[in-house]
Amino acid sequence: MQNVSDRKLGLRGSPRHLTAMIPMPPVGPGLVPVELEIPEVTLPSPLLAAVVPYEVVEAAQLTLSLPGATPPGRYEGEIKLSERTQSLVVDVEPFVSCAILPHSLVANARAGEALHVELTLLNQGNVAYEVRASYAFPLVDAIGIDRALRRFTASETKAGGPGRADRFFDELARGRGGPVRVDVHRGDGPVMPREMREIEAALKLPSRLQQGRAYSGSWRLADAAFSIRVEIGDQSIEEEAR
Protein backbone atom coordinates (compact mmCIF):
# COMPACT_ATOMS: atom_id res chain seq x y z
CA MET A 1 0.00 0.00 0.00
CA GLN A 2 1.12 3.53 -0.67
CA ASN A 3 0.61 6.90 1.04
CA VAL A 4 0.44 5.62 4.62
CA SER A 5 -0.83 7.84 7.46
CA ASP A 6 1.37 8.06 10.58
CA ARG A 7 -1.67 7.77 12.88
CA LYS A 8 -1.89 4.21 14.19
CA LEU A 9 -5.16 2.40 14.67
CA GLY A 10 -5.23 -0.26 17.41
CA LEU A 11 -7.16 -3.52 17.48
CA ARG A 12 -7.23 -5.73 20.58
CA GLY A 13 -8.75 -9.04 21.65
CA SER A 14 -8.61 -12.79 21.15
CA PRO A 15 -7.32 -13.97 17.76
CA ARG A 16 -10.74 -14.55 16.24
CA HIS A 17 -12.29 -11.38 17.62
CA LEU A 18 -10.03 -8.32 17.50
CA THR A 19 -12.01 -5.10 17.76
CA ALA A 20 -11.77 -1.32 17.94
CA MET A 21 -14.30 1.52 18.10
CA ILE A 22 -13.68 4.07 15.34
CA PRO A 23 -15.45 7.01 13.68
CA MET A 24 -17.44 5.81 10.68
CA PRO A 25 -14.88 5.91 7.84
CA PRO A 26 -15.56 7.54 4.44
CA VAL A 27 -15.85 4.08 2.85
CA GLY A 28 -18.85 3.34 5.13
CA PRO A 29 -19.90 -0.13 6.37
CA GLY A 30 -18.44 -3.18 4.68
CA LEU A 31 -15.15 -5.03 4.31
CA VAL A 32 -11.80 -3.24 4.16
CA PRO A 33 -8.38 -4.67 3.20
CA VAL A 34 -5.67 -5.29 5.80
CA GLU A 35 -1.99 -6.03 5.26
CA LEU A 36 -0.38 -7.90 8.14
CA GLU A 37 2.51 -10.31 8.56
CA ILE A 38 2.75 -12.71 11.48
CA PRO A 39 5.72 -15.12 11.58
CA GLU A 40 4.80 -18.81 11.10
CA VAL A 41 1.07 -18.02 10.75
CA THR A 42 -0.72 -18.42 7.42
CA LEU A 43 -3.23 -15.60 7.08
CA PRO A 44 -6.25 -15.53 4.76
CA SER A 45 -5.68 -13.87 1.40
CA PRO A 46 -7.11 -11.36 1.07
CA LEU A 47 -7.24 -10.43 4.77
CA LEU A 48 -10.32 -8.30 5.41
CA ALA A 49 -11.68 -6.44 8.42
CA ALA A 50 -15.38 -5.66 8.89
CA VAL A 51 -16.74 -2.16 9.50
CA VAL A 52 -20.12 -2.40 11.25
CA PRO A 53 -22.30 0.59 12.25
CA TYR A 54 -22.54 1.08 16.00
CA GLU A 55 -25.50 2.44 18.00
CA VAL A 56 -24.25 5.98 17.37
CA VAL A 57 -24.59 6.91 13.70
CA GLU A 58 -21.12 8.47 13.50
CA ALA A 59 -19.38 5.47 15.11
CA ALA A 60 -18.49 2.00 13.87
CA GLN A 61 -16.97 -1.19 15.21
CA LEU A 62 -13.96 -2.53 13.36
CA THR A 63 -13.51 -6.32 13.66
CA LEU A 64 -10.69 -8.53 12.42
CA SER A 65 -10.49 -12.32 12.65
CA LEU A 66 -7.17 -14.21 12.62
CA PRO A 67 -6.43 -17.94 12.93
CA GLY A 68 -7.24 -19.19 16.44
CA ALA A 69 -3.65 -20.32 17.11
CA THR A 70 -2.13 -16.89 16.40
CA PRO A 71 0.38 -16.42 19.25
CA PRO A 72 -0.18 -13.60 21.77
CA GLY A 73 1.77 -10.47 20.91
CA ARG A 74 1.76 -7.14 19.10
CA TYR A 75 1.79 -7.08 15.30
CA GLU A 76 1.96 -4.08 12.95
CA GLY A 77 0.46 -3.64 9.53
CA GLU A 78 -1.74 -1.36 7.43
CA ILE A 79 -5.45 -0.88 6.80
CA LYS A 80 -7.29 1.09 4.12
CA LEU A 81 -10.27 2.98 5.54
CA SER A 82 -10.27 5.80 2.97
CA GLU A 83 -8.21 6.93 -0.02
CA ARG A 84 -5.16 6.79 2.25
CA THR A 85 -3.91 3.77 4.14
CA GLN A 86 -3.41 3.88 7.89
CA SER A 87 -0.90 2.22 10.19
CA LEU A 88 -2.39 -0.64 12.19
CA VAL A 89 -1.36 -2.22 15.51
CA VAL A 90 -2.91 -5.57 16.44
CA ASP A 91 -2.63 -6.73 20.07
CA VAL A 92 -3.47 -10.44 20.26
CA GLU A 93 -4.30 -11.51 23.81
CA PRO A 94 -3.84 -15.00 25.33
CA PHE A 95 -6.88 -17.14 24.60
CA VAL A 96 -7.68 -20.53 26.17
CA SER A 97 -10.21 -22.75 24.41
CA CYS A 98 -10.61 -26.53 24.17
CA ALA A 99 -12.91 -29.03 22.49
CA ILE A 100 -13.47 -32.60 23.66
CA LEU A 101 -15.00 -35.74 22.16
CA PRO A 102 -17.10 -37.50 23.21
CA HIS A 103 -19.12 -34.82 25.00
CA SER A 104 -20.89 -37.04 27.52
CA LEU A 105 -21.34 -40.41 29.21
CA VAL A 106 -24.54 -42.13 30.34
CA ALA A 107 -23.98 -45.15 32.58
CA ASN A 108 -25.54 -47.48 35.13
CA ALA A 109 -23.28 -47.74 38.15
CA ARG A 110 -23.04 -48.38 41.88
CA ALA A 111 -22.23 -45.83 44.56
CA GLY A 112 -18.46 -45.62 45.02
CA GLU A 113 -17.72 -47.23 41.64
CA ALA A 114 -14.95 -45.90 39.34
CA LEU A 115 -15.97 -45.18 35.73
CA HIS A 116 -13.17 -45.35 33.16
CA VAL A 117 -13.38 -42.86 30.29
CA GLU A 118 -11.32 -42.08 27.18
CA LEU A 119 -11.45 -38.60 25.67
CA THR A 120 -9.83 -36.68 22.84
CA LEU A 121 -8.95 -33.08 23.70
CA LEU A 122 -8.12 -30.43 21.08
CA ASN A 123 -6.46 -27.16 22.12
CA GLN A 124 -8.17 -24.50 19.99
CA GLY A 125 -6.51 -21.59 21.79
CA ASN A 126 -3.21 -19.76 21.27
CA VAL A 127 -1.47 -20.76 24.51
CA ALA A 128 -0.71 -24.12 26.13
CA TYR A 129 -3.45 -25.68 28.27
CA GLU A 130 -2.39 -27.71 31.30
CA VAL A 131 -4.27 -30.97 31.89
CA ARG A 132 -3.94 -31.68 35.59
CA ALA A 133 -3.45 -35.13 37.09
CA SER A 134 -6.57 -34.81 39.26
CA TYR A 135 -9.88 -32.93 39.31
CA ALA A 136 -13.14 -32.96 41.23
CA PHE A 137 -16.65 -31.92 40.30
CA PRO A 138 -20.05 -32.21 42.05
CA LEU A 139 -22.86 -34.64 41.25
CA VAL A 140 -26.45 -33.65 41.91
CA ASP A 141 -29.76 -35.44 41.66
CA ALA A 142 -30.81 -34.99 38.01
CA ILE A 143 -34.41 -34.27 39.04
CA GLY A 144 -33.65 -32.95 42.52
CA ILE A 145 -35.45 -29.63 42.07
CA ASP A 146 -38.58 -31.31 40.69
CA ARG A 147 -38.49 -33.81 43.55
CA ALA A 148 -38.16 -31.01 46.11
CA LEU A 149 -41.00 -29.03 44.53
CA ARG A 150 -43.28 -32.07 44.63
CA ARG A 151 -42.44 -32.59 48.30
CA PHE A 152 -43.01 -28.88 48.96
CA THR A 153 -46.47 -28.78 47.35
CA ALA A 154 -47.60 -32.11 48.82
CA SER A 155 -46.47 -31.50 52.41
CA GLU A 156 -48.51 -30.00 55.20
CA THR A 157 -46.98 -28.14 58.10
CA LYS A 158 -47.37 -29.98 61.37
CA ALA A 159 -47.39 -28.25 64.73
CA GLY A 160 -43.86 -28.11 66.01
CA GLY A 161 -42.50 -29.80 62.89
CA PRO A 162 -40.49 -28.41 59.99
CA GLY A 163 -42.25 -25.98 57.67
CA ARG A 164 -42.88 -26.60 53.98
CA ALA A 165 -39.93 -24.40 53.00
CA ASP A 166 -37.66 -26.36 55.35
CA ARG A 167 -38.77 -29.61 53.74
CA PHE A 168 -38.06 -28.16 50.30
CA PHE A 169 -34.48 -27.28 51.24
CA ASP A 170 -34.00 -30.58 53.10
CA GLU A 171 -34.91 -32.44 49.90
CA LEU A 172 -32.51 -30.29 47.88
CA ALA A 173 -29.76 -31.12 50.37
CA ARG A 174 -30.48 -34.85 50.00
CA GLY A 175 -30.08 -34.42 46.24
CA ARG A 176 -26.43 -33.42 46.57
CA GLY A 177 -24.54 -36.51 45.56
CA GLY A 178 -21.11 -35.27 46.60
CA PRO A 179 -17.87 -34.82 44.65
CA VAL A 180 -16.62 -37.04 41.84
CA ARG A 181 -12.84 -37.52 42.04
CA VAL A 182 -11.10 -37.59 38.64
CA ASP A 183 -7.69 -39.28 38.33
CA VAL A 184 -6.03 -38.77 34.92
CA HIS A 185 -4.00 -41.90 34.15
CA ARG A 186 -2.78 -40.84 30.69
CA GLY A 187 -2.58 -37.51 28.89
CA ASP A 188 -1.88 -35.03 31.69
CA GLY A 189 0.56 -32.17 31.15
CA PRO A 190 0.65 -29.17 28.80
CA VAL A 191 -1.30 -29.40 25.52
CA MET A 192 0.08 -27.01 22.90
CA PRO A 193 -2.06 -24.91 20.52
CA ARG A 194 -3.56 -27.07 17.72
CA GLU A 195 -2.45 -30.25 19.52
CA MET A 196 -4.82 -33.21 19.99
CA ARG A 197 -4.34 -35.29 23.13
CA GLU A 198 -5.80 -38.67 24.08
CA ILE A 199 -6.83 -38.70 27.74
CA GLU A 200 -7.69 -41.68 29.93
CA ALA A 201 -9.17 -41.10 33.36
CA ALA A 202 -11.04 -42.77 36.20
CA LEU A 203 -14.09 -41.02 37.66
CA LYS A 204 -14.62 -42.23 41.23
CA LEU A 205 -18.30 -41.82 42.18
CA PRO A 206 -19.25 -40.73 45.72
CA SER A 207 -20.28 -43.48 48.12
CA ARG A 208 -23.35 -41.55 49.34
CA LEU A 209 -25.32 -41.85 46.06
CA GLN A 210 -28.79 -43.27 46.65
CA GLN A 211 -30.11 -46.38 44.94
CA GLY A 212 -32.72 -45.75 42.25
CA ARG A 213 -31.75 -42.14 41.63
CA ALA A 214 -30.04 -40.54 38.64
CA TYR A 215 -27.24 -38.00 39.10
CA SER A 216 -25.56 -35.61 36.71
CA GLY A 217 -22.48 -33.40 36.65
CA SER A 218 -19.77 -31.97 34.39
CA TRP A 219 -15.98 -32.24 34.31
CA ARG A 220 -14.67 -28.90 33.02
CA LEU A 221 -11.58 -28.69 30.81
CA ALA A 222 -11.06 -24.98 30.03
CA ASP A 223 -14.30 -23.91 28.31
CA ALA A 224 -15.24 -27.48 27.36
CA ALA A 225 -17.31 -29.82 29.51
CA PHE A 226 -17.61 -33.61 29.70
CA SER A 227 -21.06 -34.35 31.12
CA ILE A 228 -22.02 -37.55 32.91
CA ARG A 229 -25.36 -38.99 33.98
CA VAL A 230 -25.38 -42.10 36.16
CA GLU A 231 -28.28 -44.28 37.23
CA ILE A 232 -27.54 -45.87 40.61
CA GLY A 233 -28.56 -49.54 40.71
CA ASP A 234 -29.22 -51.99 43.53
CA GLN A 235 -25.79 -52.49 45.08
CA SER A 236 -26.84 -55.34 47.36
CA ILE A 237 -28.23 -57.45 44.48
CA GLU A 238 -25.06 -56.93 42.42
CA GLU A 239 -22.86 -57.92 45.38
CA GLU A 240 -24.86 -61.14 45.94
CA ALA A 241 -24.37 -62.13 42.30
CA ARG A 242 -20.58 -61.82 42.57
pLDDT above 60 for 151 = no
Parse the chain into domains and list their residue ranges: 4-92, 98-241
CATH topology of domain 98-241: Immunoglobulin-like (2.60.40)
pTM of this prediction? 0.76
In terms of DSSP bridges, do strands 30-36 and 73-80 run parallel, antiparallel, or are they unpaired? antiparallel
67-81, 107-121, 135-149, 170-184: lowest mean pLDDT where? 135-149
The number of angstroms, rounded, from the C-alpha of 62 to the middle of its chain's C-alpha atoms is 25
Q: Tell me, what's the pLDDT at 208?
A: 87
Equal fold, 4-92 vs 98-241: yes
Cα–Cα distance measured from residue 106 to residue 234, given in angstroms and rounded to the nearest whole number = 17
Q: What is the DSSP string of 23-76?
A: EPPTT-SEEEEEEE--TT-PPPSSEEEEEEE-SSTTEEEEEE---TTPPSEEEE
What does the pLDDT average to over 92-113? Answer: 96
Q: 131 or 54, which is more confident?
A: 131
The CATH class that applies to domain 4-92 reads mainly beta
Strands 196-204 and 176-186: antiparallel
